[in-house]
């Protein structure tokens, strides 16, 4: 059963499934972050609209219901949307999935992504049958690589032409967290 929310201490963040009430805040966070995030994630672009946020939220609700993905928004103790994190590309047969994250530009560098990933990984291993979470990061995305390392993910491989960045295939580094 997906959580209603995951509390994190000592850093005051809440990781919870998105709701239709998050559409405006999500859209605003994406627009604020286009300059930083769009370099690495194609979904983040200047034309991102509330309809895109609505569509993503609907798909996350379906993923939660089907246990095929577990996407969350990250909010601070005041309820402001900080970013998103999630488990997706779930392979139930081999028991692994992708773990992804992004933080709005005005809140980067504060350890929020690291804490969110740690909490999400702990929840995933405690509440699903997954044994492995992969964090796949473009070679040039040093900040995201650092988040993976700080979470204890082990760098395992360089994957040639694994991601599309700016319409071009780029190499990626795969880090992994495994059930202990």
Q: Are 97 and 91 in contact (CB under 8 A)?
A: yes
| pLDDT tens, residue order, the chain (180 aa) | 455 556 555 568 999 999 999 999 999 999 999 999 988 988 889 999 999 999 999 999 999 999 899 999 999 989 999 999 999 999 999 999 999 999 999 999 999 999 999 999 999 999 999 999 999 999 999 999 999 999 999 999 999 999 998 889 999 999 999 998
pLDDT value, residue 180? 86
pLDDT value, residue 80? 95
pLDDT value, residue 42? 86
pLDDT value, residue 7? 56
Checking DSSP bridges between strand 96-103 and strand 132-138, what pairing results, if any? parallel
pLDDT value, residue 115? 94
The beta-carbon contacts of 19-26 under 8 Å, at least 24 apart in sequence, are 19/57, 20/54, 20/57, 22/53, 22/57, 22/73, 22/81, 23/50, 23/53, 23/54, 23/57, 24/50, 24/53, 25/80, 25/81, 26/53, 26/56, 26/57, 26/73, 26/81, 26/84
CATH topology of domain 6-131: Aminopeptidase (3.40.630)
The set of residues, in sequence order, having a beta carbon less than 8 Å from that of 43 and lying 6+ positions away, is: 52
């Amino acid at each position: 059963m997906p959580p209603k929310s995951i509390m994190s201490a000592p850093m005051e963040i809440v990781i919870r499934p998105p709701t239709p009430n998050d559409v405006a805040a999500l859209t605003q966070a994406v627009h604020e972050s286009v300059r930083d995030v769009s370099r690495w994630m194609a979904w983040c672009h200047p034309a991102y609209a509330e309809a895109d946020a609505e569509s993503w939220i609907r798909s996350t609700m379906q993923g939660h219901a089907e246990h095929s993905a577990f996407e969350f928004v990250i909010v601070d103790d005041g309820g402001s949307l900080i970013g998103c994190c999630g488990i997706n590309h779930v392979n139930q047969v081999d028991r692994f999935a992708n773990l992804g994250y992004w933080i709005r530009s005005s809140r980067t560098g504060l350890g929020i992504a690291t804490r969110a990933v740690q909490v999400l990984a702990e929840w995933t291993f405690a509440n699903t049958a997954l044994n492995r979470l992969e964090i796949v990061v473009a070679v040039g995305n040093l900040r995201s690589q650092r988040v993976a390392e700080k979470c204890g993910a082990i760098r395992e491989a360089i994957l040639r032409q694994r991601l599309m960045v700016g319409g071009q295939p780029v190499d990626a580094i795969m880090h992994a967290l495994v059930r202990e």
